[in-house]
Structure 1
Amino acid sequence: MRHLYVHVPFCPSICPYCDFHVLTRRAGLVERYLERLGDEARELAERYEVALDTVYIGGGTPSFLRESEIAALVGSVRRHLGWGREENTLEINPGTVSPARASHWRALGFDRASVGVQSLHDPTLRFLGRTHSAAQARAAVGELLGQGFRVSGDLITAVPGQPLEDDIRGLVDLGVGHVSAYTLTIEPGTEFARRGVEVDEADEHAGFFLAGERLAGLGLARYEVSNYARPGEESRHNLAYWHGRTYLGLGPAAAGHYPARPEDGPGLLTVRRTNPHLHGWLRGERGETLPIDPEEYVTDALFMGLRLKGGLDLAALSARSGLDVPARYGAGLLHQAGRGLLSWEGNVLRATPAGWWTLNRVLRDVLAQGEEAAL
């Protein structure tokens, strides 16, 4: 197991668009979380052979933890599972950054910062419920770069009234080497959903293609549907997800992808396990397990691999899964290639920019044809 995700569920406030497992801190809760985290890390170390290349601490707002708390978290990870040899990322809210805190994070071994900038336009930030200002975001990115972090900045697109071009140029001008640009999505159960906020489809479309065009012009190439980087600045941890590799999940609501064992059931390649939310996790309750057989493995690989600019190798996927992917899904894939949504050359299958925009719909059609072919 070469990759580890750790979920920190605590936030200073809950953004109205957020549907992750997050909550505000209460007396004693972080202490209980840290104690259980150490126990779970030890359990994972006993169950799997671990040699980590990447660690990603996400949330929530991990940078909201106090210095002693983040040090205890890192200490548990290092003690039981080790530390990433290639990349160690901390998700950071700009409002939590100070020179002393940035120096502390760096000293703990973090070398990459994923910063939730979201916008450099104060009215947009207020609409999104963010507690930081544009000035704080600029100062935070500058401080982190000065401390030697590789910095990625998050942007949210398709926000009403957002000056997206200014946001893009402003963020790149700060010196970040990586940008993640996500369309504002209204998820059920969020504050935005309760308020009846809607996202205009034309704004979604315009933001998606504008981000790709402007970021490419500024030297950050799109290497995944929503992610852009200068050469060598790609997220090595997230690439593990998109390439379908196994990884450990640590913490409440954390998901992990694990090699299948005989006790998991016959004919399985891997299993996905998702931990329960905080209070169930603190009680040691078992989470959900999803068995991954060859067909499910191929489905996951298509949905994840086609998000990448480089696509995926169908011969390698067939070898890994034991399923003849071109034979099963070839008709559907060729149909979508004829529509200009996929490109299939030799063994390599890629989505075109137009295909990226409708990727879920494209793959649902391909899989439906594959199921018919199997009957």
Structure 2
Amino acid sequence: MSVAPVLDPTVRHLYVHVPFCPSICPYCDFHVLTRRAGLVEAYLAKLDEEAARLADTHDVALDTVYLGGGTPSFLRDAELSALVGSVRRHLGWGRVENTLEVNPGTVSADRAALWRDLGLDRASVGVQSLDDATLRFLGRQHDARQARDAVTTLVDTAFRVSGDLITAVPGQPLDGDIRGLVELGVGHVSAYTLTIEPGTEFARRGVTVDEDDERRGFERTEALLGEHGFTRYEISNYARPGQQSQHNLSYWHGRTYLGLGPGAAGHYPAAGGSRILTTRRTNPHLHEWLAGAAGEDDPIDAHEYVTDALFMGLRLREGLDVADLSRRSGLDVRAAYAAPINANVARGLLTLDGDRLRATPQGWWLLNRVVTDFLEASPAEQAESP
């Protein structure tokens, strides 16, 4: 039986997309572009308008703010100050965590101090590697020395620092990259396998990733970071105690969030009295966004809400609480999805302990297959009204 869903009507998380980069990396398929005269000014003016509109249309009490991109730290000091001012004026500021994505080549002691004064307290640094040859292959504009200096400066300025790594790069000294990051004092590491996306420069050049290298990187990263006190709390993310990304956890826990800026995606509570639980909205790219084009809305019903939550929640080591998911969605998840749950438990890809559903290590590796089973399920509750 379906029951009335219980969703928090207050949005507590904000993602701000800054699309500008000093250069476009050959593996990148995000909405990014290099800056041109007048473009950043137009972006900041439009961002202020959009922030005001979001404040008027949603109940907002922010716990986390995440400035991503692109390269938010590529903004000039006055520009970043204006962006933060718009967010604070219209939407408030995160009470728990406020993250800035940082390119190592943009860091100095004075800039780090300014960022802290603006209220940013966590830095996600695009290190990618601490090996110069690997960085050149990846098309990065910084070298290993700049990456080390940037992380050290941010740690010394009292940021909580996360270092990004790309793994499975041909010839990469992965052990050295991992040990080097740990020695610099980061409390968090995000390690992503090099992925060749259609339309990128790497795709046009025919670059490929060896699956055996991918699997070795997946396993070696966990083993080596584990030796240094980091726990893999999500498929691609590792943290020392208390250093998990609270903003990203909101995604993995299936919470709603605001998306601000061109290309930004938001996940919003839907109006009451509808079969639609939430709405995902994706903003258009910069030039269409500046011209006032509307975002694309994707209404999410209970079934899609549950499958999305399963896909995200099973990425976590802790998995997810199916009783809580049932309460939020209004569906009896254990009954509606008994077939895919039981089948994947039998395959050794999932475990179900009480109400706690988790992916096994092999389930993590085959998570797309697991989620496909849930997507293909047709629970009877879909046909019932809440």
Q: Is the 8 A contact 2:336 2:380 kept in 1?
A: no
Deviation at 1:287, TM superposition (A): 1.2
Q: 1:77 to 1:201 in 2, by over 3 A?
A: same
CA distance in 2, matches of 1:76, 1:372: 46
Q: After the TM superposition, which residues 6-21 of structure 1 pair with which residues of structure 2 at under 5 Å, given as runs?
A: 6-21=16-31
1:266 aligns with 2:274: yes
- CA–CA distance in 2 between the matches of 1:295 and 1:28? 45
Return the alpha-carbon distance in structure 2 between the equivalents of residues 118 and 304 of structure 1: 24
Amino acid at match of 1:182: Y
* Structure 2 residue 96 is the aligned partner of structure 1 residue 86: yes
Which residue, 293, 296, 314 being the options, matches 2:301? 293
CA separation in 2, counterparts of 1:318 and 1:373?
12
- Say yes or no: does 1:339 pair with 2:353: no
**Corresponding position of 2:165:** 155
Tell me the secondary structure at the aligned position of residue 80 of structure 1: helix
Of 106, 111, 133, which residue of structure 2 is paired with 1:101? 111
Q: In the alignment, residue 355 of structure 1 is paired with which amino acid?
A: G
Report whether the alignment pairs 1:47 with 2:57: yes
Aligned-residue offset at 1:374 = 7.7
* TM-score, normalised by the number of residues in structure 1: 0.97
Query: Partner amino acid for 2:193?
Result: T
**Is it true that 1:352 corresponds to 2:360 in the alignment?**
yes
Judge conservation of contact 1:329–1:367 (CA < 8 Å) in 2.
Answer: no
Q: CA shift at 1:373, angstroms?
A: 11
Residue 247 of structure 1: which of 257, 281, 286 is its match? 257
* 2:154 corresponding residue in structure 1: 144
| Residue in structure 2 matched with residue 208 of structure 1 by the alignment | 218
Q: Secondary structure at the match of 2:29?
A: coil
Native 8 Å contact 2:307 2:374 kept in 1: no
8 Å Cα contact 2:71/2:102 also seen in 1: yes
Determine which of 180, 183, 189 is the counterpart of 1:170. Answer: 180
Distance 1:73 1:374, change over 3 A: closer
Letter in 2 for 1:295: H
Question: What is the DSSP-based 3-state SS (H/G/I as helix, E as strand, rest coil) of the residue aligned with 1:2?
Answer: strand
Which residue matches 1:325?
333
- After superposition, the Cα gap between the structure-2 partners of 1:204 and 1:244, relative to the gap in structure 1 and judged at 3 Å, is same
Q: Give the corresponding residue for 2:6.
A: none
Query: Matches of 1:141 and 1:327 in 2, distance apart?
Result: 48
Which amino acid in the other structure matches residue 334 of structure 1? Answer: N
2:178 partner letter = I
| Matches for 1:163-242 after TM superposition, within 5 Å | 163-242=173-252
Matched residue of 1:53: which SS?
Answer: strand
| Cα deviation 1:121-158 (Å, max 9, x = unaligned) | 00000000000000100000000000000000000000
Q: CA deviation at 1:365?
A: 2.2
How far 1:325 moved relative to its partner?
A: 1.3
Task: Report sequence identity in percent.
Answer: 71
For 2:375 and 2:70, locate their aligned partners in 1 and report how far apart those are by CA, in whole Å: 34
Q: Distance in 2 between matches of 1:372 and 1:194?
A: 45
TM-score normalised according to structure 2 size: 0.95
The superposition leaves residues 144-198 of structure 1 with CA deviations (integer Å, 9 ceiling, x where unpaired) of: 0000000000000000000111111111111000000000000011000011110
Counterpart of 2:371 in structure 1 is 363
Size of the alignment, in residue pairs?
373
Cα–Cα, structure 1 residues 187 and 345, in superposed 2: closer, same or farther, change >3 Å?
same
Alignment check: 8 A CA contact 1:272 1:291 kept: yes
Please report how far the alpha carbon of residue 113 of structure 1 lies from its aligned counterpart in structure 2 after TM superposition: 0.2
- The alpha-carbon deviation at position 323 of structure 1 amounts to 1.4
Displacement of 1:11 after TM fit? 0.2
The alpha-carbon deviation at position 371 of structure 1 amounts to 5.7
Of residues 205-214 and 9-18 in structure 1, the stretch that sits farther from structure 2 once superposed is 205-214
Alpha-carbon distance in 1 for matches of 2:283, 2:381: 36
Aligned structure 1 segments of 4 or more residues deviating by more than 6 angstroms: 372-375
Inter-partner Cα distance in structure 2 for 1:366 and 1:258: 23
Match of 1:75 in 2: 85
- Measure how far apart 1:369 and its partner are: 4.2
Give deviations 1:254-279, integer Å, cap 9, x for gaps. 000100015xx930110000100000
State the Cα distance separating 1:318 from its structure 2 match: 1.2
